[in-house]
């Protein structure tokens, strides 16, 4: 708890009030979550102090009517607060306004954002598909604010999934060997690329006819009839 007791300003209820210190009087710096102990010393030579009105940023915070004129204040947000106070005596004569500044800093360390996790589950590494067959692309991805999963074949983005279960399909038209990977991106822009899988595309329409057997033909090694 921060405690302020630096008396550099005074209450004075015109000429009838003895000038007495008020605290706080200077700028005060605290961390968010800490309290400020505020104490006012005020009396009146020909009567008594009826109340001390305390305001923060121009808004009345409280009125202190009993001695000791003190309170604890715990700001709920970081920022700069202007504390002011004025005393009233039993004749409703008021003192000059005294002011102080309270600076509240949020020193709480924000957790380091974590990138999404993503694993490619389909196609399996080493899979083979027929030409023209639609390939199912699926990942296991997790993040509290996952935005999308993009799929890449041979390094080129081919489709995007924006909602769970983060799956898509794609048709590869040409024969050959291919690579596939996925990139998961969250709302903060953090992204993770999964391991790359390989798959192949074959033309299932191609057939290879075996020669017809002829019992009367003579076959030589390495030669077909």
Residue recorded with tokens 């008020």: 22
User: Where are the extended beta strands (E) located within 41-113?
Assistant: 49-56, 59-64, 69-73, 79-89, 98-105
Residues 6+ apart with CB under 8 A from 60: 53, 54
Q: What is the pLDDT of residues 56-110, one digit of tens each?
A: 999 999 999 988 888 888 888 999 999 888 889 888 888 888 888 889 988 777 7
Residues 6+ apart with CB under 8 A from 35: 1, 2, 72, 73, 74
Provide the β-strand partners of residue 94: 88
Residues 6+ apart with CB under 8 A from 143: 114, 115, 116, 117, 184, 186
- The alpha carbon of residue 140 and the mean position of all alpha carbons in its chain are separated, in whole angstroms, by 23
Largest CA distance in the chain: 142
DSSP characters over 81-95: EEEEEEEEETT--B-
Domains of the chain are 2-105 (2.60.40.10), 117-202 (2.60.40.10)
Alpha-carbon gap, residue 65 to 51, rounded angstroms: 4
Q: What is the DSSP letter of 65?
A: -
pLDDT computed for residue 211 by the predictor? 64
Residue recorded with tokens 């590869």: 172
pLDDT tier for residue 206 given thresholds of 50, 70 and 90: low
pLDDT tier for residue 221 given thresholds of 50, 70 and 90: low
- Whether the ω angle into residue 175 lies within 30 degrees of 0, i.e. cis, is no
What pTM does this model have?
A: 0.48
Structural contact between residues 40 and 85, judged by C-beta atoms closer than 8 angstroms: yes
Of the ranges 172-176, 202-206, 211-215, which is most confident? 172-176
Alpha-carbon gap, residue 36 to 2, rounded angstroms: 5
The token pair at 28 is: 């005060």
The token pair at 128 is: 């083979």
Q: Which residue has the higher pLDDT, 126 or 214?
A: 126
pLDDT tier for residue 132 given thresholds of 50, 70 and 90: confident
Alpha-carbon gap, residue 172 to 170, rounded angstroms: 7
């Amino acid at each position: 708890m921060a405690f302020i007791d630096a008396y550099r300003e005074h209450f004075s209820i015109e000429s009838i009030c003895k000038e007495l210190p008020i605290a706080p009087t200077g700028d005060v710096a605290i961390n968010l979550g800490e309290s400020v102990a505020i104490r006012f010393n005020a009396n009146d030579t020909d009567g008594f102090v009826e109340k001390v009105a305390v305001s923060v940023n121009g808004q009345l915070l409280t009125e202190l009517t009993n001695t000791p004129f003190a309170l604890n204040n715990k700001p709920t947000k970081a920022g700069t607060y202007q504390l002011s106070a004025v005393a009233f005596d039993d004749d409703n004569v008021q003192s000059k306004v005294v002011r102080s500044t309270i600076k509240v800093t949020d020193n709480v360390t924000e957790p380091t954002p974590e990138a999404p996790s993503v694993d490619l589950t389909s196609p399996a590494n080493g899979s083979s598909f027929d030409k023209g067959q639609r390939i199912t692309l699926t990942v296991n991805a997790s993040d509290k604010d996952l935005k999308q999963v993009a799929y890449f074949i041979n390094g080129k983005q081919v489709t995007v999934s924006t909602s769970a279960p983060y799956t898509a399909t794609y048709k590869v038209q040409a024969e050959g060997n291919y690579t596939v990977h996925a990139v998961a991106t969250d709302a903060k822009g953090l992204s993770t690329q999964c391991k790359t899988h390989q798959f192949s595309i074959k033309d299932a329409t191609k057939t290879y006819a075996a020669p017809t057997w002829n019992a009367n033909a003579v076959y030589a090694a390495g030669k077909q009839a």
